[in-house]
Chains A and B, each alone.
Chain A
């Protein structure tokens, strides 16, 4: 019997979201990873500035 006669159609609602192949996900992830790194660097710099200012205020007081 042919497979297309035996295959039972999916009766559940079809979601607009789909799982993706790993290679496609990997290519999407790399720019995101780079962006996250850039954001983390910005956060680190900001934290250092805040720490410096706090120390300066404490020293002045």
Chain B
């Protein structure tokens, strides 16, 4: 994989060994901000964008403020419908999720914590029951199931309901998308012990049927869904930690998927994110490579096939990646959460390089 000198990289101390990162405009200023889940310190860190693609010091929300133990994965979404994006984190150590509602200015109320599933390693959202409110799904360890928490309509959540029919191993990642085009969001789960993804179709009322499984690489620690070949149907990508690959599964148009195609990435691919980095209208991908302390960017040729990845160094072992136009230049940038108490922001050179 070719290496490339990078033009615009900045790293920021996070002070919490961030294990996951997400982006969203938390304070409503039109610029995407950052939030990290810091597993080792059970903290959530919020870094506000100053508007030019650099970030202020992190504000921490800690276990003492209601955040669960071992926050491992994180997502940004408006759970109470007030127009301000909120935060939800999956807490590995105590099997909970923590929901932090936005005060409207990028600060957050103390977390509400809900029992979810044992040792959750991921989190995703979707309006599963079609009531107009975003629900949450997390994977569980040792239960061969995912856990769905339905939104009560005000940003609080009902007790978790487990769905595991057809799942035969430990789920370590989840994503949500309407894969069969019926208007109802479905769940895609990465199953570590069987090196598969399980697709759970929504019955339309927020309950889910027996999973269909597809082989992927070993250790699918992250899964994302997006339309890679432009056919209008969402496809699946997994980051395979033990194989140093990503698996791409193209949707056959009806919510079933073709056999996975593997593409090499860096060593220890722990996360994957999608975005059109070179502005050609096709969805590209980026992986977080733990052992290499790099990210890999793979550009889409337009048909859902990907070229050789380009690796970019970051300031520590990369555990998570996310994308956003951080400096407002119209080009998608990348952020990496690094184990070594830092996040690294890689600004797009406007041609899909970093």
Contact = CB atoms under 8 A, between A and B. Distances in A.
Contact of B141 (A9, A14, A29): A29
A34 B119 CA distance: 12
Contacts of A23: 172, 192, 219, 221, 241-242, 270
Given A13-B15, A22-B270, A29-B118, A3 B5 contact: yes
A3 B4 CA distance: 9
Contacts of B339: 18-20
Given A21-B241, A21-B270, A29-B141, A10 B13 contact: yes
A33 B172 contact: no
Contacts of B342: 10
A30 B191 CA distance: 13
A10 B340 contact: yes
Contact of A33 (B14, B141, B313): B141
A37 to B, nearest CB: 7
B18 A10 contact: no
Interface residues of B, number: 51
Contact of A18 (B8, B40, B92, B193): B40
B344 interface: yes
Contacts of A6: 6, 8-10
B294 to A, nearest CB: 10
Contact of A29 (B5, B142, B315): B142
A1 B347 CA distance: 13
A20 to B, nearest CB: 7
A8 interface: yes
Contact of A3 (B9, B19, B41): B9
B17 A7 contact: no
Interface residues of A, number: 30
Given A3-B312, A8-B11, A20 B142 contact: no
A26 B40 contact: no
Nearest to B119: A29
Contact of B142 (A1, A7, A18, A37): A37
B122 interface: yes
A8 B10 contact: yes
B226 interface: no
B30 to A, nearest CB: 25
Contact of A26 (B39, B170, B315, B341): B170
A25 interface: yes
A35 to B, nearest CB: 10
A22 B170 CA distance: 12
A22 B221 contact: yes
A51 to B, nearest CB: 25
Interface string B1-38: 00001111111111111110000000000000000001
Contacts of A7: 9-11, 313, 315, 344
A33 B12 contact: no
B148 interface: no
B230 to A, nearest CB: 30
B290 A25 contact: no
Contacts of B219: 23
22 contacts: A1-B5, A2-B5, A3-B9, A6-B9, A8-B11, A9-B315, A10-B14, A10-B315, A10-B341, A11-B13, A19-B40, A19-B72, A22-B221, A22-B241, A23-B219, A23-B221, A23-B270, A26-B121, A26-B192, A29-B118, A29-B142, A30-B142
Interface of A: 1-4, 6-15, 17-23, 25-26, 29-30, 32-34, 36-37
9 nearest CB pairs, A to B: A33-B142, A19-B19, A17-B40, A22-B221, A29-B119, A19-B39, A29-B141, A23-B241, A12-B15
Given A12-B13, A23-B219, 5 more contacts: A10-B11, A26-B172, A32-B119, A34-B142, A37-B142
